[in-house]
Structure 1
Amino acid sequence: MEDIKHKIEELRKTLRYHSDRYYNDDAPEIEDYEYDMMMRQLKELEEKYPQYDTVDSPTKRVGGRADNSFESVEHTVRMESLQDAFSKEEIFDFDRRVHDVVNNVHYVVEPKIDGLSVSLEYVNGEFVRGSTRGDGNVGEDVSGNIRVIRNVPLKLNRAIPFIEVRGEVYMPKKSFERVVDRQLINGEKPFKNPRNAAAGSLRQKDSRVAAERGLDIFVFNIQQIEGVTLNSHKESLDFLKELGFNTVPYYERVDNIEDAFSKVEEIGERRGSLEFDIDGAVIKVDDFAQREQLGSTAKFPKWAVAFKYPPEEKQTRVVDIEITVGRTGKLTPTAVLEPVHLAGTTVSRATLHNQDFINEKGVNIGDVVTVRKAGDIIPEVLCVNEKHSSSNFVFPDVCPSCNEKVVREADEADIRCINPECPAQLLRNLIHFCSRDAMDIEGLGPSIIETFVNEGMINKVTDIYHLDKDEIARLDGFQQTSANNIVSSVEGSKNNDLGKLIFAFGIRHIGAKAAKLLSDEFGNMDNILNASREALLDIEGFGEIMADAVYDYFHTDSALEMINELKAVGVNMQSNTVIKDDRFSNMTFVLTGTLPTYKRSEAAKIIESFGGKTSSSVSKKTTYVLAGEAGGSKLDKAAQLGIPVIDENDFNEMIK
């Protein structure tokens, strides 16, 4: 029995970990099907051995939690999840359970959209708030990002006194492809699938990011309503359409479970041709009065079930393995396949990740492999079925773009080209340099930069500052006005803070926040160039990897040459942070929770203006934790380390 107890505990631990990665980090490590099978195994064990059942088991909880970076929203009507089914027999078992309680049942069948569940609230027909599901009881307020979704009506066609609806925010496949292409060009880790791309976009602090990513929504339920009486789900969906909502497509009312399952199969056949991802179909009792009689368990409504489609797998042959070079010099292998029809599309390429993955799977050109497409933009190889080569594919010793020797750093899986002049990296480096969080050069988007590179107008970063407006205007598709705007934007970027310039360099392991820390710590570029590794390690939040990356970068001839050229054209090399006085000198603040009047970014700027620093994590080096409502785990860490916790009133006294 101890073995059973241990197995249950291990399953719970594993499920909690993967649930957190999926719902809260938007970075799943396993496919939905694997997660569902583990959840099923745990449920069966708990039913068989009830002595080991617990109230906090993952089988009884919705997966997400409210994120402390947004204001919490307590749901008046609980946002429940659904019981899953994986076979026709389970669907018919659901029907028998329903008929044990009610008779003359009709069902509504609809696709299960693979996105992020949200609540939308309207008062007198006006949109007032949008929130995520969270754990079903408490979510997070994402109203700003909800407002920019194209199919969210901000004013309804009727002034209903109050209505709360539930919908699924998703990213259309075409939008997902554009986002991933941009991430790959910038050398960023791409989103794993559209669901996680949608979730990550909806949790952005800057609503412009959510707007750019082309999110959309389907509404599928009325949570509560005042002033209107509705008696069935089909009636409510039709009513939602009248109000102006983009309702879940292909919904249909049927008379029995046989017709319901036929509709599930029909939706499954459409799956590959849809412009959005679905991971199943939902069968719901139509009559609201019957739903009341059926009720809910601790986690699921008893009047609905979700049929989950299994991921489709096919066998094909590897005809070639191509190596591409990313912005950071990373070499990425892609298997070129004999085309195979998979999940509604023709697949001819699959990711092979890195040399370790190739060795683990034993892949080479000519082998027959199994591929699966379960939401990823590029399918992946699962295993080798027929080995037609005597060895595994081996990465080249030199970069396929510049022919310089490649390296594999210690403790890393990736192989990289470290030649900063590598042509394959040039375009990606330029795009990153001009991006919003870097030098923010408006008008120099990826396609225009590529045009200028192809025309020979830009061969390195510093050429951006020598662009000629008349030369631009002579190109096809450009006019004098657009040429003037580009050159004006380039000129304006010279005044950016030093932190933006450092981030624009694209130094490995150095994001926008770390670049700002460098800028504020040393004040100007010359101080950074002269900084020792030890001085870099003293920066709050810097470890050995980051310190080494900065030190090594600024001690390369190519970086020094570029910096000197940028100085010569007038690019700012000073930190623009204005220090009012140094009362917070040598102090580090950690901000957590929701402050009553300040945004956390505003409080951080005040701290910096008095010579202090902010950090995202609590450590022994932390001086104060400035906490608002729902401070979370950072307060626990502060208590463990004995770090003083202050509120906004204390903070205001300190800055008087």
Structure 2
Amino acid sequence: MGETPFNEKAVTDLTEDEAQEELASLSHVLAEANQAYHVKDAPAISDAEYDALKRRNAEIETRFPALKREDSPTEQVGAAPAEGFSKVRHSVRMLSLSNAFEDSDIADFDASVRRYLGLAGDAPLSYTSEPKIDGLSLALRYENGALVQAATRGDGAEGENVTANARTIDDIPQTLTGAPDILEVRGEVYMSHADFEALNLRQVDRVGKVFANPRNAAAGSLRQLDAEITRSRPLRFFAYSWGELSYPLAETQFGAIERLAGLGFQTNPLTHLCDGPDDMLAHYARIEAQRATLGYDIDGVVYKVNDLGLQGRLGFRSTTPRWAIAHKFPAELAWTRLEAIDIQVGRTGALSPVARLTPVTVGGVVVSNATLHNEDYILGRDSQGNLIREGKDIRVGDWVQVYRAGDVIPKVADVDLSKRPEDAQPYVFPTVCPECGSEAIREEGDAIRRCTGGLICPAQAVEKLKHFVSRGAFDIEGLGAKQIEMFHGDEVLSIREPADIFTLEARDGETLARLKNRDGWGEKSATNLFAAIQTRRHIALERMIFALGIRHVGEAAARDLALHFGSWEALTRAVDTARPAVLAQRAADDAERAERASAAKDARRARIKETRDAAIADRDVPEAAMDSWAELTGIDGIGSVLVLSLSDALANAQERASIDRLVAHLDIQPPERPATEGSPVAGKTVVFTGSLERMTRAEAKARAESLGAKVSGSVSKKTDIVVAGPGAGSKEQKARDLGLTVLDEDGWLELIGA
């Protein structure tokens, strides 16, 4: 499974290193889960577990925005389209929904909507509430009333063309009367319980094989290459949303659903209009009570802001709308035996304990592995030394409770001491790497013990290469985790660093002959691999940055860096120039830690600042280095920890040489930017400071970025516009001292034509 460094601590207590480790593992495991669910129609984990993983990831990203990765659950929608169907590019992306699990999450959702819109707590605000159907998302495009295309969600941007299959579903109208000229209807393909049972009886008689559940049956039926097979399957369709429109269906969500029903679509009769969180929760309870008798599967309730004008203002995050949320049904618990504790070594050297369990079925999913987080968790305490599980440690042979909701793999939540074997021994966490024998150290304040072997550790090397070819990175078709392990261990076809991938075909002139004779390989598969590698010589800058696997540099940060600098050369020039400032900042960090340990509480803040300033001044940092440091850390979403890590990686002679060898094989392309033709702020760097009165800071930032502007958190010589509201303070003064353009909120809105 790769690296699984999970931490039992609350997200608010995580260090950045711990957060980085957990996010890295979340991206890997959930990418595999997406592939299994959306492409293979054979889920590897349950919906409840998947949802919980996304929730944990989102919480970490909220606390550590600089660490956000585009391949995390908050940055991925579905999975890449499967082979066999032509591809369809969605004119409006098909996004997933953020999730809620507790009643308090719904109040938080309402508060966040109000906060973004600047609405008072008692201002009227209604929501629609509807069952969340457990099926397969489908988009139906109608032009002049005729169905012309049907496509699955795929990865949200591109799906599979299943038009012929969709035409066989009775619930999907072939023609519409009175519809907009362009109408894309979105909804869920599903199968009722009764139809599913009847289908499985027929399957047993015909092929002796049955479907696992209605969702798998529906997805597999819709994605048949032979439309006649789809026609023979009892598929249904609920409409609940829309994509591209030539004109609006209504002014409200509820009105638009009624309009879809009037056009002939099946809409869910349990859709309800709610006045606020209390009403939303009451409707959730009503739907949950009917869940067993509905005749089809649901896994929660979806709430949406009813006013479509407000939906437009709220807009979208990278993969989820701000105006909707899915309130999921609870997860489950089970008890089983802990058979062994294994240690896995990740790409950053983290030693992660994993529980091997006697397989147990939890809510229809067989669980055989669970995270044990770290050595403190096994001992029954958190990283601060506080007791967890009432201080009960975990030992091989224990009877343990498994909870399928909190982490990437299920976690061991409790221990039944009454069933502990008499000969069970306390677990001793290793202090050497089980893969290379190097010392494994745990730095002060870090919950994770790490192998110090670096590139000599085969586990780290392999995991780095797996990351390099992962979905959010180079994503080379035919070169996945299993193939990386094979090539890495091969003396002849060896891949030891990323550059080796791009020399594979030409190496010794005999690579094809050697490869095609191996098990699982033939001339065609080898040729396809070489073609896929050749295609990836042309790579987007943000993918290149992320693929390097630099600690703390997730996909979101990689894209932020790519958008800001535009080229690999500009980025490395800025990082190299900033190196003296990086070393000064590290010295200041060390001095600050020492001062914090000794300073009296009442004098701590002032003394710490003096200590930091002195540590930086002692190094006599060139002005150009400080400017580059300010530019890097001023990028919205990029923090000092990330810049320190990025600088260390590029300053390491061995690692830099490896990167340079890779770059020599690549055509690194600038990032795609939003279409901003005619925008007066496209390409400009904007800083918002002080209070905004006509829109919230979040809305202002989103609006600026949609117009192609770069939003920064600090003012520098490279800032173009400072939007200063009341209480702007030092940022406004610095902008005026530098002679920058300073606008009030009205001036900003006039500039962008809002």
Q: TM-score, normalised by structure 2?
A: 0.43
Q: Name which structure has the greater RCO, CA cutoff 8 Å, separation 6+.
A: 2
Q: TM-score, normalised by structure 1?
A: 0.49
